[in-house]
C-alpha cells in the first residue's frame, strides 16, 4: 500500500476512534446503563433469531455474549473505518453514504432492543457525527470538499509540476497529518474517559438504588373498579418507565443516597439538614397522585398517575419552624432548577404534599428525582415538583419577586381536564354502538363528572370508574350509536366543588392547559 493510501486508511481508523469517544460521552451524558460497544453487543444478540443462538444442539450464547464478539466487533469496525478512509481519497460522497448507512443500521439495532427510549438513539447519532468530524479534520475538510466537487487543488509555485498521483493523499505535509491525527486521538481519548466517568457514576448509583429495600413502602394496588376494561385505554397506574418527564437536566443528576441531604433554611426557627436515612426512617405517607405539567396541552401525555411514598412536607416545615410572614419556599434540585411553592400548599395537611422517595412501590428512578423529589397535589409541576431536591429556602414571595425574572407566584391550581383516548384519532369503526373512553383529573378536589359531546351535540354524562382517590385521575366511558360518516367527540370534566373544565382556546388564552380535547374518527358503511 502506498503512503498516501496508508494515510487515508489510518485517517478512517482515527476518525472511528473519535466517533467511539463521542458515542461513549453521549451514552454517559444521557445516562444509559451501558456504553456503545456493550450496547451494540446486546443489540446484536437481541436481533439474532433463536435458531442462530442454538443450532444443532450447540449452545452459542456463551460465544455470542463473550469476549469473542467484542473482538469481532472491534476488528470489523476497524476494517470498515479503514475502508471508508480509503474511499475518502476520492471525495466525501462515499464516506458520507457509508456513515449514513452505518448510522441507519445502528438505529435499527436500537429499535429491536426491548424497552427502547428516544435517548438510546443519541449515542448512535453522536458516533456518526464524530466519525464525520474526525475524518474531515484528519483528512482536511476543505480538501475533501474540493475533491468531491471535482475542483483541483491549488498548488504553490514549487509544486506546479506535480500531478494528482504525486499527492501524498492528504492535504499538507506528513507532519501536519500526524498533528491532526494526534489532536483527534487526544479528543477521542478525552471524550471516552469523560463518558466512562459519567457512566460509571450512574452505574454506581443505580447499583446502590437496586440494593435498597424500602420495607416501609406498601406495594401499589389499583383500587377496585378504578381500571375500566376498555381496549386502548391508558392504564390507571402509569408505569415508571412510561411516566412523562419534563426537566432542564442535560445530564440526569446521579446522587448517592448516603451522600444526599436536604437543607431547610431561611426564615425558619432552626436550620435542618435531613439525611436519606433520617427521611426513610420517618413516618411514611402514601397515596395515588396525578402529576400534571404546566405544558400539558389538551389531549397531551404530560400527565401521569402513580403511587407515591414519602414524608409529608408539612412535617418537614414543622421541623424547621416557619417564621411569621414567610409564605414561600424556593425549592432547588441538584440540576440547578428551582421553583417557588407556597408554604400554605406545602403545609396544608388536606393537600397531602410529599417529599417522595418511592414511586409505584420502588425507589424513585434516577430520571424521576432519586433519591427524593417533591410532590404537591393540585399544583402544576412547574410550581411544586422539584426533582433531585437538595435545598428548601423559606422566604417571602415579595422577596422572590425581586430576584427572579419569571413570575414566582406559579400557584395556579390544576384545572379540571380530560382527554379522549378511545377511539383513536382518524380511526375507522363499524356502524352501530361506538364506545368512547378516556381519563380525567382535577386534584386535589377530585373529578365529580365527565361529559361527552358528539358532533357538537348535547353534552351527556359518561360513566366514571372508582373516583374515591381525589388526588388521582379517573377513567371514564360512554356509548353512543352513530351513523356512517365522520364524527368528532369532545369531553369535559367537572371537579367536586363545581369547577368546569375551561373551554377557552389555548392560543387566545396563552395557556396550554385550557381548551377541550377532541378526536375525529370515521364510522364506515357496513
55 and 138: one domain?
A: yes
399 and 421: one domain?
A: no
Tell which residue, 411, 416, 466, has the closest CA to residue 444.
416
Q: Is residue 226 part of a domain?
A: no
300 and 444: one domain?
A: no
Q: CATH no. for residue 355? A: 3.90.420.10
Total Cβ atoms within 10 A of residue 392 = 27
Across 226-235, 281-290, 400-409, 485-494, least confident range: 400-409
Residue that terminates a domain, selected from 190, 205, 220: 205
Q: What is the pLDDT of residue 35?
A: 57
63 and 187: one domain?
A: yes
201 and 245: one domain?
A: no
126 vs 155 pLDDT, higher one: 126
Q: 252: buried, middle or exposed (CB in 10 Å: 19+, 13-18, 0-12)?
A: buried
Q: Is residue 155 part of a domain?
A: yes
Q: How far is it, in rounded angstroms, from Cα 313 to Cα 457?
A: 45
Asked if residue 309 lies in contact with residue 358, where contact means CB atoms within 8 angstroms, the answer is yes
The answer to whether residue 122 scores a pLDDT higher than 60 is yes
DSSP strand pairing (474-482 vs 432-441)? antiparallel
Q: What is the pLDDT of residue 286?
A: 96
**How large is the average pLDDT for residues 48-56?**
46
Q: How far is it, in rounded angstroms, from Cα 384 to Cα 399?
A: 18
The answer to whether residue 484 scores a pLDDT higher than 60 is yes
458 vs 211 pLDDT, higher one: 458
DSSP string for 261-284 = EEEEEESBSS-EEEEHHHHHTSPP
Asked if residue 390 lies in contact with residue 333, where contact means CB atoms within 8 angstroms, the answer is yes
- pLDDT band for 50, please (50, 70, 90 cuts): very low
Distances (CA, A) of 520 to 297, 462, 503: 17, 18, 18
Q: Find the domain containing 507 and state its range.
A: 417-523
68 and 91: one domain?
A: yes
184 and 248: one domain?
A: no
When mean pLDDT is compared over 86-90, 166-170, 320-324, 504-508, the highest value belongs to: 320-324
Asked if residue 293 lies in contact with residue 244, where contact means CB atoms within 8 angstroms, the answer is yes
Q: What is the pLDDT of residue 52?
A: 45
Tell which residue, 495, 455, 489, 461, has the closest CA to residue 477.
461
> How far, in whole angstroms, is CA 485 from its chain's centroid?
39
- pLDDT band for 116, please (50, 70, 90 cuts): low
Q: Is residue 481 part of a domain?
A: yes
Total domains in the chain come to 3
- pLDDT band for 25, please (50, 70, 90 cuts): confident
Q: Is residue 298 part of a domain?
A: yes
171 and 244: one domain?
A: no
**How large is the average pLDDT for residues 320-344?**
93
Paired residues of 262 in beta bridges: 274
DSSP strand pairing (303-312 vs 354-359)? antiparallel
Q: 55: buried, middle or exposed (CB in 10 Å: 19+, 13-18, 0-12)?
A: exposed
22 and 158: one domain?
A: yes
167 and 138: one domain?
A: yes
Secondary structure element (H or E) that encloses residue 292, with its range? strand 285-292
* Percent of all residues in the chain with a pLDDT value above 90, rounded to a whole number: 46
Q: What is the pLDDT of residues 158-178, one digit of tens each?
A: 444 444 433 444 555 677 778
Residue that terminates a domain, selected from 205, 220, 253: 205
194 and 129: one domain?
A: yes
> Phi/psi at 311 (nearest 5 deg)?
-110, 135
Residue that terminates a domain, selected from 403, 429, 453: 403
Amino acid at each position: 500500500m502506498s503512503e498516501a493510501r496508508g494515510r487515508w486508511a489510518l485517517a478512517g481508523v482515527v476518525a472511528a476512534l473519535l466517533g467511539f469517544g463521542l458515542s461513549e460521552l453521549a451514552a454517559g451524558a444521557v445516562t444509559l446503563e451501558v456504553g456503545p460497544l456493550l450496547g451494540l453487543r446486546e443489540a446484536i444478540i437481541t436481533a439474532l433469531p433463536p435458531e442462530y443462538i442454538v443450532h444443532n444442539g450447540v449452545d452459542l450464547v456463551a460465544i455470542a455474549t463473550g469476549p469473542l464478539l467484542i473482538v469481532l466487533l472491534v476488528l470489523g469496525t476497524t476494517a470498515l473505518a479503514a475502508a471508508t478512509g480509503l474511499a475518502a481519497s476520492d471525495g466525501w460522497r462515499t464516506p458520507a453514504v457509508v456513515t449514513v448507512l452505518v448510522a441507519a443500521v445502528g438505529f435499527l439495532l436500537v429499535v429491536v432492543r426491548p424497552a427502547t427510549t428516544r435517548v438510546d438513539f443519541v449515542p448512535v447519532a453522536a458516533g456518526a457525527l464524530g466519525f464525520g468530524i474526525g475524518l474531515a479534520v484528519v483528512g482536511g475538510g476543505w480538501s475533501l470538499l474540493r475533491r468531491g466537487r471535482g475542483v483541483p487543488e491549488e498548488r504553490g509555485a514549487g509544486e506546479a509540476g506535480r500531478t494528482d498521483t504525486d499527492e501524498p493523499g492528504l492535504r499538507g505535509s506528513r507532519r501536519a497529518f500526524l498533528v491532526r491525527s494526534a489532536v483527534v486521538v487526544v479528543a477521542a481519548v478525552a471524550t471516552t474517559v469523560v463518558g466512562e466517568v459519567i457512566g460509571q457514576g450512574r452505574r454506581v448509583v443505580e447499583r446502590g438504588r437496586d440494593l435498597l429495600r424500602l420495607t416501609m413502602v406498601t406495594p401499589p394496588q389499583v383500587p377496585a373498579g378504578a381500571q375500566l376494561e376498555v381496549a386502548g385505554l391508558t392504564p390507571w397506574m402509569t408505569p415508571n418507565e412510561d411516566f412523562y418527564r419534563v426537566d432542564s437536566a442535560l445530564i440526569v443528576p446521579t446522587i448517592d443516597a448516603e451522600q444526599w441531604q436536604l437543607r431547610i433554611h431561611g426564615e425558619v426557627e432552626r436550620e435542618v439538614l435531613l439525611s436519606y436515612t433520617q427521611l426513610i426512617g420517618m413516618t411514611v405517607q402514601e397515596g395515588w397522585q396525578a402529576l400534571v405539567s404546566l405544558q400539558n396541552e389538551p389531549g397531551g401525555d404530560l400527565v401521569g398517575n402513580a403511587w407515591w411514598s414519602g414524608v409529608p412536607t408539612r412535617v418537614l416545615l414543622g421541623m424547621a419552624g416557619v417564621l411569621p410572614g414567610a409564605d414561600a419556599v424556593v425549592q432547588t434540585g441538584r440540576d440547578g432548577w428551582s421553583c417557588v411553592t407556597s408554604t400554605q400548599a406545602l403545609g396544608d395537611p388536606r393537600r397531602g404534599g410529599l417529599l417522595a422517595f418511592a414511586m409505584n412501590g420502588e425507589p424513585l428512578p434516577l430520571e424521576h428525582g432519586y433519591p427524593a423529589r417533591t410532590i404537591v397535589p393540585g399544583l402544576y409541576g412547574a410550581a411544586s415538583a422539584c426533582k433531585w431536591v437538595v435545598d428548601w429556602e423559606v422566604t417571602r414571595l415579595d422577596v422572590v419577586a425581586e430576584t427572579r425574572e419569571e413570575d414566582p407566584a406559579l400557584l395556579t391550581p390544576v384545572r379540571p381536564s380530560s382527554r379522549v383516548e378511545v377511539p383513536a384519532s382518524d380511526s375507522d369503526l363499524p356502524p352501530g354502538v361506538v364506545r368512547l373512553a378516556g381519563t380525567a383529573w382535577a386534584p386535589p378536589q377530585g373529578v365529580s363528572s365527565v361529559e361527552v359531546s358528539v358532533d357538537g351535540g348535547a353534552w351527556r354524562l359518561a360513566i366514571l370508574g372508582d373516583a374515591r382517590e381525589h388526588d388521582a385521575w379517573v377513567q371514564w366511558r360512554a356509548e353512543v350509536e352513530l351513523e356512517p360518516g365522520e364524527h368528532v367527540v369532545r369531553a369535559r370534566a367537572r371537579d367536586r366543588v363545581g369547577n368546569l373544565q375551561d373551554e377557552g382556546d389555548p392560543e387566545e388564552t396563552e395557556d396550554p392547559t385550557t381548551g377541550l380535547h377532541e378526536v375525529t374518527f370515521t364510522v364506515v358503511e357496513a
